[in-house]
Amino acid sequence: MNLLIKKASLIKTGPERLEVLDVLISGEEIKEIGQDILSPGASIIEAQGKILVLGLIDAHVHFREPGQEYKEDLRTGSFAAAAGGFTTVIAEPNTTPPIDTTVRLQRLLDRAKKKSLVNFYSKAAISRKMMGKSLTDISRLKEAGARAISDDGNPVPSQRLMRNALIKGKECGIPVTPHCEESGFYREEILRKQEKLGQRSSNPLMPYSSSGIPFTSEAGFIKRDVELAERTGASLHISHVSLAKSVEIIAEAKKRGVKVTAEATPHHLLLTEKMAKEIGPDAKVNPPLRSEEDVAAVKEGLARGIIDIIASDHAPHSAEEKSRPWDQAPFGVIGLETTLGLVLTFLVRPDILTLSQAIEKMTVIPARIFGLDVLGVGELKPDAKADLTLIDLDKKWKVDVNQFYSKGRNCPFNGWGLQGKAILTIVAGRIVAKDGTIVPELIYA
């Protein structure tokens, strides 16, 4: 059946403006965009005053399947995505076991076809078992559909391994997306090495690399990785940037022509370490929340295009895990059901980003970085796949974790008042969520 969206506002650029148009969807595709389209028998959606955009893409999520389905699974994760206005997600490979072979990747993608309401893509691990020791078979993983390679949750401690990953990534045309933060696992390893060598950094959070250069948590890794990307000519995408220093390094690298892109999360854009202490373990993330100056710098980097995309790093944990004391609670916050509202309320309303900038950072730019346009995610135009999100910019609502589809309740924004929400999520021509609620017949399907 045809679907006719009447009088929706479409974002046009150069100069940025809204144009009121009808959009006719037939089957899985956009059939026509124009004024006063007639389509007898089509089901009509009145969209006056609402913004129709390409389906939102979240390029960094953790759906925990396989292995930790008590935290989230492909179905509940995809429900959370659809409810939040996302039609496409790219999952991180740090599942149990990690996605480090083509068999595991294929099995995951097959399962997602059956269970996910939204388009589901996955990254694959950089190193086998994500142990940072030997490379996975990157070219075969790319052939099997991996959209990037990542050891998310852990940095890649070995410079040689990272260089080889970048060389392979360039050869196969797949971006490398490091998690630039010293994890507990890695910190201990570095400290053990230093002990052996008889050197000791005065600050255990600032260990020294094998070359004697201190890693200032993420910034040191980013510096190393952009230099390796520069030497190898590979594409590097930096996950969840959180420090002013990191923004500076990425800005300089971009100026030199390094093929580096970067992402920021709503929590690193809106919360500080001081707020994390007040909120408790629900705000415990890796990299951690930072100072006000860092938050301001990440925001400015986003506005200036140094940080290319917004991604949630949706990382669900069980209520029991997050109720542990701070030092024992796991890292991560959920984000799929709040990201759009937070971006519209705190970045677009105060004019930090224009509406089109914000939407591009959640649609065309991630699609370009991760090569999704070849799969039909692209411009709003006839014959394109009908992955669409209809947004009500005025809608006021309150974040309530108990209303979430995600199994996770670890949301540091619980209780916040927001303005702006996805009121319709359409995947391949099919309405999957209305006003933040999954279409009932799909829940039981």
Q: Which residues bind Zn ion (CB under 5 A)?
A: 92, 152, 179, 313
CB atoms within 10 A of CB 199: 11
Pick the closer one to Zn ion by CB: 64 or 421.
64
For residues 430 and 46, what is the distance between their CA atoms, to the nearest angstrom? Answer: 16
Q: What does the alpha-carbon distance between residue 113 and residue 298 come to, in Å, rounded to a whole number?
A: 36
CB of 152 to Zn ion, least distance (A): 4
- Among 58, 313, 387, 392, the active-site one is 313
> Is 22 or 182 the residue whose CB approaches Zn ion more closely?
182
> What is the full DSSP assignment across 342-386?
HHIIIIITTTSS-HHHHHHTTTHHHHHHTT-GGGT---SSTTSB-
Answer yes or no: 308 catalytic.
no
End-to-end CA distance of the chain: 19
Cα angle for residues 297, 223, 95 (degrees, 5° grid)? 90
Q: Least distance in Å: CB of 155 to Zn ion?
A: 9
Determine how many CB atoms are found less than 10 A away from the CB of residue 350: 9
- Give bridge partners of residue 398 from the DSSP assignment: 417
CB of 61 to Zn ion, least distance (A): 8
CA geometry: angle at 201 spanning 195 and 206, to 5°? 120
Residues contacting residue 238 through CB under 8 Å, at least 6 positions apart:
177, 178, 180, 222, 225, 246, 250, 260, 261, 262, 263
Q: Which is nearer to Zn ion, 22 or 65 (CB)?
A: 65
Closest distance of CB 239 from Zn ion, Å:
5
Nearer to Zn ion, 65 or 92 (CB): 92
Smallest distance, Zn ion to C-beta of residue 115, A: 21
> 3-state SS of 325-343?
CHHHCCCCECCCCCHHHHH
> Closest distance between Zn ion and the C-beta of residue 91, in Å?
10
Closest CB to Zn ion among 271 and 386? 271
Q: HSE on the CB side for 155, CA within 13 Å?
A: 28
Nearer to Zn ion, 221 or 420 (CB): 221
Nearest residue relative to Zn ion (C-beta): 179
Collapse the DSSP code of 399 into the 3-class scheme (helix H, G, I; strand E, B; otherwise coil) and give the result.
Answer: coil
C-beta of residue 410 within 8 angstroms of C-beta of residue 282: yes
Tokens (6 digits) for 102: 């083509």
So which residues are the catalytic ones? Answer: 313
